[in-house]
Each structure stands twice: as C-alpha cells, then as structure tokens.
C-alpha cells in the first residue's frame, strides 16, 4: 500500500462539523479530502473558507447518503474528481433521541437509513473506487451495547453498524480494504452539547480517570492512525477511546 507520506484521497461523510470536521482537517495532512454535509450549507461554507485560509486541501460537497443511489452518486462524483478514494470515514448521524418503547416506525427507519445502511452501501461500492490499501472506517459509541437514556433507536443503529464492521471486514479483505470502527465516549461537539445537559457533561468528566471528556481531535487522531499504513493488518475491530471511563 501507499506509505503514509504518499497522498491519500479521503472522503469524510458528515465531515464539516464536530468529529467529522476534525477528521477532515487531520486527514488533509495526507492528501485531498472530500467532506460532505446534508443540509447546513452555511456551516459548510464557513468550514470550506477556514480550511482554505489554512491551506488544507479540503472540498466540501452536499450529499444525502440515506439512499443507496445517493451513496453511489457520491462515490462516482469523488472518483471523477480525484480518480480514486483511499479512505472513507462514515461520520454522519441522525441523533434522534427516544426511549425504545416509544420510538415510532418512521423514526426507527429514518435513524437506520442514516446511521447504518449507508455504511453497507459504501462497503458494497468501495472496491470500484478504492486505491491500494483502502480503509473504511465507522464512528460508533459504547452505547451500542450499554443502556443510556434516549438512545433507544441510535444505540441499536450503532450495534448494527458494528456488526457490519465484522461482515464487511471479511468480505472486503479480498480487495485489500480494511474495515474498522472508532468508538468514543463523550466527545465535545456542538451536536453533543445540544443533546446532553451541562451537569451531566461535568459528571462524566469527573468520573473519567483522565478527568475530561474527549475532543474531536482525540477522535480524529485515532481515525488517522486507523487510516495509516501502521494499521494495515487490523480489520473488523471496534477501537475504543474514552479516557478510561468504562474501566470502572
Ligand atoms: N459527540 C459524541 O459524543 C460522540 C461519541 C461517540 C460517537 N460519536 C459519533 O461520531 C459521529 C459524529 O458525531 P458529531 O457529534 O461530531 O456529529 P456532527 O458531525 O456534528 O453531525 C453529523 C453530521 O452528519 C451529517 N448528516 C446527517 N445526516 C446525513 C445524511 N443523511 N447524509 C449525509 N450527511 C448527513 C450532518 O450534516 P448537516 O449538518 O448538514 O445536517 C452533520 O454534518 C456520529 O456518528 C456520532 O454518533 C459521537
């Protein structure tokens, strides 16, 4: 595969905010990055402008990955612009909060169609566009297998995503593509702050052995390592980063 010093072309789905934005910036040190958003064009413009001022090779793109056709169109557009895609990071999320006993049928499918299904479509189509040593990387949460209030739909969507990491990990190995997930405890993003009360964030920081919640850059560092040549023999894994929170 390419060495880490070679240019790697990355696609970060949900790549203009929070963890996705930090990941786009981090991967831009290794080559061009295509960073997608769904609705927030103003935020995409601000992100594009600040990346430009910093000289980072990041291009923002609007894309809806909630349908198979949307994923195929996105990959075709990136491959047309860059020739291939080496790293795909799937950071998009529908963070709909609800209890499992209350989730509506509509909300259930909407959560799955954003949080889980696109990863399958990305995996199915990645061999057609990937270069040497492809990397398909999901973002997940320890609350895929543990209970937390309000995660009645998002938690199961992340559990299915983690299972796809295993199945795609085996099935994409023949194409030289590894499939892994980075799993994070509480990470300081605007989305997380809009959902979690301040007193709860403080309590998590105090209970964490390393005494703080995570930053998007903590998470982006792990993703960059998974995308690097050093991680070329790792596939099908869920790698956790939580400051030691779940050790006790
Ligand atoms: N923050 C945490 O504590 C934490 C912890 C563990 C794991 N994670 C995971 O890390 C990832 C990023 O989280 P974050 O907090 O940094 O969120 P975020 O990036 O602020 O928001 C998610 C992004 O996904 C995009 N998106 C939503 N639906 C989409 C669709 N159908 N097609 C394309 N893009 C779509 C949104 O675009 P628009 O803004 O344009 O709508 C937004 O840019 C998520 O998978 C999350 O579950 C987060």
The whole-number mean pLDDT for each consecutive block of 10 residues of the chain, a chain of 248 residues, reads 67 98 98 98 98 98 97 98 98 97 98 98 98 95 97 98 98 98 97 96 98 98 98 98 96
Provide residues with CB under 6 Å of ligand 1: 13-14, 16-20, 36-40, 63-66, 91-94, 114, 139, 141, 184, 186-187, 189-192
pLDDT at 6: 72
CA of residue 80 to ligand 1 center, whole Å = 25
Place of tokens 């301040």: 198
Q: Output the pLDDT for position 159.
A: 98
pLDDT of 134: 98
- Taking the CA of residue 154 as reference, the ligand 1 atom at the shortest distance is 47
Pocket test for ligand 1, best of 38, 143, 218, 226 (most atoms within 8 A of CB): 38
Mark 21-42 as b/e (b = at least 16 C-beta within 10 Å).
bbbbbbbbebbbbbbbbbeeee
For residue 65, the CA-to-ligand 1 centroid distance in Å is 12
Q: What is the pLDDT of residues 79-90, one digit of tens each?
A: 999 999 999 999
User: Nearest-CA neighbor of 95 among 23, 17, 27, 166?
Assistant: 17
Closest-CA residue, ligand 1 atom 24, reads 92
pLDDT per position as a tens digit, 108-135 = 999 999 999 999 999 999 999 998 899 9
Q: How far apart are CA 97 and CA 169, in angstroms?
A: 29
Cβ-contact 237, 43 below 8 angstroms: no
Q: CA-CA distance, 65 to 168, in Å (whole number)?
A: 18
């Amino acid at each position: 595969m390419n060495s880490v010093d070679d240019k790697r072309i990355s696609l970060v789905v949900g790549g203009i905010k929070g963890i996705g934005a930090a990941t786009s910036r981090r991967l831009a040190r290794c080559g061009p990055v295509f960073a997608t958003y769904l609705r927030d064009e103003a935020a995409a413009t601000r992100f594009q402008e600040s990346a430009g001022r910093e000289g980072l090779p990041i291009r923002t793109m609007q894309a809806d990955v909630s349908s198979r056709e949307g994923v195929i169109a996105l990959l075709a557009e990136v491959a047309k612009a860059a020739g291939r895609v080496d790293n795909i990071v799937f950071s998009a999320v529908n963070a709909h909060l609800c209890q499992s006993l209350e989730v509506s049928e509509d909300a259930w499918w909407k959560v799955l169609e954003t949080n889980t299904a696109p990863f399958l479509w990305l995996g199915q189509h990645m061999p057609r566009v990937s270069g040497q040593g492809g990397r398909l990387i999901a973002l997940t949460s320890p609350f895929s297998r543990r209970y937390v209030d309000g995660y009645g739909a998002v938690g199961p969507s992340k559990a299915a995503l983690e299972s796809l990491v295993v199945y795609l990990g085996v099935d994409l190995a023949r194409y030289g593509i590894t499939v892994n997930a980075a799993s994070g405890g509480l990470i300081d993003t605007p989305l997380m702050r809009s959902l979690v009360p301040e007193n709860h964030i403080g309590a998590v920081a105090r209970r964490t052995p390393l005494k703080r919640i995570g930053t998007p850059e903590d998470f982006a560092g792990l993703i960059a390592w998974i995308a690097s040549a050093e991680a070329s023999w790792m596939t099908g894994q869920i790698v956790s980063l939580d400051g030691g929170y779940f050790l006790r």
